[in-house]
Chains A and B, each alone.
Chain A
């Protein structure tokens, strides 16, 4: 591991000012915020991340989970994943979020990992994690060997000729379906980012994964007020029963009135270069009878635009069955 200065900023303003001196907030950043450490320290050990300064923000007052005046929920950036998953309000009104978090990582990692850190979780692509290999995400311009081979777990949505790495988060899949918002405080003041706009597609610059600029500090994530009677479910399919990243997952939030789907929000995990919302599935569900035929048609619609890699065409049928089962389970809940 490279040497670095460990700094504990006294407040958010000091943290933002220190981070604003970094040339980038993306891959290669020389200043990093430190939350749970479960991604950053792992990657620092691999020399994939080599910050010269590490800003420990764990003691800033950013860990609260609070009800907002509009009935929505405000989730502090450093709230731990386990605190969020076991929060009574989340388990009652946003159960898909609790399910997604509890399907991710292990109990120890969930006790450490923060909400903002989960938004910034890095891909598990083996080439990205190995500095002996080329990788456009880690070292722009070196190439993407994953396109040739070793892509069984990688993306079938959102890939480019430069990068096909999967976003590994479970939590983010549920946050897409719940239409969360990301609140950022930066050198130029605060701003609010719709969840779907927060992560970027790899395109020709896969080293750039989010809209964050130097000095931008995620302060909290908000959820809209709960939708009365909504039916929610998260299903994750993987190589092991637990403590494994998704090959395919689905988060759905449905409103069913008189046997018909009147509102649908659908997101897929383990298949996209970013947490993947499916407006195609939502359109195929809305106004239709809530039955198996509709659910399978929605899954067909969701996967129509998928582009498999050489080793992961199986993910298309897997994701279809995953989404169909998720819709069926949510509707029956």
Chain B
């Protein structure tokens, strides 16, 4: 979860880095085989989606996003959601895309300290805002207490919803919430876990609240 830049360390053989590296070389070889004009970077169709990268993107808008304390100067299409910007543009893939329609909570991040659904925000709405993702909470060597509690209480099974659950749970610590489990369940109802790890998620949150 400290995977700040998955492409930064060539000696780090993570699964994601393997997929990113092999995926892009496969894509590059396909482009080289079938679209020689683009592969050589010369006279391709400038309207082609293949050619629209980085600053050449039509109608791209410059924006500064402050993510996990670090300013990122980006140029993005106005349609880019905060979620897609975090995952695809900035390559912080701890934040997950579940339903992409605000129904599952997997994409939960903090904006200026409040939990929000990054799939239902345009990145352009957040120029200058302080954004925190799961990568900004803790590191494998120094877990956030909520991350440690999820590990201790086994608050997950497949793990896909976990970063959203933890971002929600950390925000909940600063929200009006009664002491009982029912109050925690109500305030966590926007985070769906299809594995059904709910009892352990509630236990993890209560462990942190009682220890705090």
Q: Which B residues are in CB contact (< 8 Å) with A107?
A: 115, 168, 171-172, 175, 187-190
Kindly state the separation between the CA atoms of A240 and B113 in the bound complex, as whole angstroms.
29
Q: Across the interface, do A109 and B190 meet the contact criterion of CB distance under 8 Å?
A: yes
Contact: A106 with B105, CB < 8 Å?
Answer: yes
A6 adjacent to B122 (CB under 8 Å): yes
CB distance from B127 to the nearest CB of A (A): 8
Give a binary string over A96-122; 1 marks a CB under 8 Å from any B CB, 0 the rest. 000000000111110110000000000
**Pair A37/B121 contact, Cβ less than 8 Å:** yes
A38 surroundings in chain B (CB, below 8 A):
102, 117, 120
Pick the most buried of B78, B105, B120, B122: most chain A CB atoms within 10 A of its CB.
Answer: B120
Q: Does A5 touch B at the CB level, under 8 Å?
A: yes
Q: Is B101 an interface residue (CB 8 A)?
A: yes
Q: State the CA gap A109–B175 with chains docked (Å).
A: 14
Cα distance A91–B116 in the bound complex, in angstroms = 23
**Complex: A41 Cα to B59 Cα, angstroms:** 19
On whether the beta carbons of B120 and A41 are closer than 8 Å, the reply is yes
Using known A-B contacts A42-B102, A45-B101, A243-B189, determine if residue A109 contacts B117 with beta carbons closer than 8 Å.
yes
Contact check, A6 vs B124: say whether CB atoms are below 8 A apart: yes
The closest CB in chain B to the CB of A43 belongs to: B101
Contacts of B185 in A (CB 8 A): 241-242
* A139 contacts chain B at the CB level, 8 A cutoff: no
Residues of chain A contacted by B59 (CB below 8 angstroms): 3, 5
Whole-angstrom distance from the CB of B164 to the nearest CB of chain A? 9
Find the B residue at minimum CB distance from A113.
B120
Residue A1, interface by CB 8 Å: yes
Given known contacts A45-B100, A56-B124, is B186 in contact with A108 (CB within 8 Å)?
Answer: no
Bound-complex Cα distance A56 to B63 (A): 15
Q: Which residues of B contact A241 (CB under 8 A)?
A: 185-186, 189
Closest B residue by C-beta to A103: B186
A111 & B114 in contact (Cβ 8 Å cutoff) = yes
Q: Which residues of the partner chain B approach A329 to less than 8 Å between Cβ atoms?
A: none
Contacts of B125 in A (CB 8 A): 34, 37, 56, 58
> Which residues of the other chain, B, contact A42 by a CB distance below 8 angstroms?
101-102, 120
**Chain A interface size range:** 20 to 34
Partner of A6, one of B78, B100, B116, B172: B78
Contact residue among B78, B122, B171, B189 (Cβ-Cβ distance under 8 Å from A3): B78
- Among A54, A82, A109, point to the contact of B102 (Cβ < 8 A): A109
Residues of A within 8 A of B175 (CB): 107
Query: Out of B77, B122, B186, B189, which one reaches A37, CB within 8 Å?
Result: B122
* Chain A CB within 8 A of B133 CB: no
Q: Is the CB of A112 within 8 A of B100?
A: no
Contact mask for chain A residues 68-91; partner B; CB cutoff 8 A; 1 contact, 0 none: 000000000000001000100000
B61 contacts chain A at the CB level, 8 A cutoff: yes
A314 at the interface (CB under 8 A from B): no
Q: Are B168 and A108 in contact (CB under 8 A)?
A: yes
The reply on B176 being an interface residue by CB < 8 A is yes
Which residue of B has the minimal Cβ distance to A102?
B186
Q: List CB contacts (< 8 Å) of A206-243 with chain B.
A: 241-243
Decide yes or no: A4 and B79 within 8 Å by CB, A41-B121, A56-B125 being known contacts: yes
Interface residues of B in 49-108 (CB under 8 A from A): 59, 61, 77-79, 81, 100-102, 105, 108
A36 to B114 CA separation, bound complex (whole angstroms) = 13
- 0/1 interface trace, chain A 287-304, chain B, CB 8 Å (1 if under): 000000000000000000
Q: How far is the CB of B12 from chain A (nearest CB, A)?
A: 32
Alpha-carbon distance between A86 and B176 when the two chains are bound, in angstroms: 8
Which chain B positions have C-beta within 8 A of A37? 120-122, 125
| Interface flags, B126-143, vs A, CB<8A=1, else 0 | 000000000000000000
Closest Cβ of chain A to B132, distance in Å, is 14
A–B pairs, 12, beta carbons within 8 Å: A4-B79, A6-B61, A34-B125, A38-B102, A41-B120, A42-B120, A56-B125, A105-B190, A107-B115, A108-B105, A108-B115, A243-B189
Chain B residues with CB under 8 Å of chain A are 59, 61, 77-79, 81, 100-102, 105, 108, 114-117, 120-122, 124-125, 168, 171-172, 175-176, 185-191
Closest 6 CB pairs of A and B: A106-B190, A242-B189, A6-B78, A243-B189, A111-B114, A108-B117
Excluding A5-B78, A107-B187, A107-B190, 13 further A-B contacts by CB distance (< 8 Å) are A6-B78, A34-B125, A38-B117, A42-B120, A106-B189, A106-B190, A108-B168, A109-B190, A111-B114, A241-B185, A241-B186, A242-B185, A242-B186
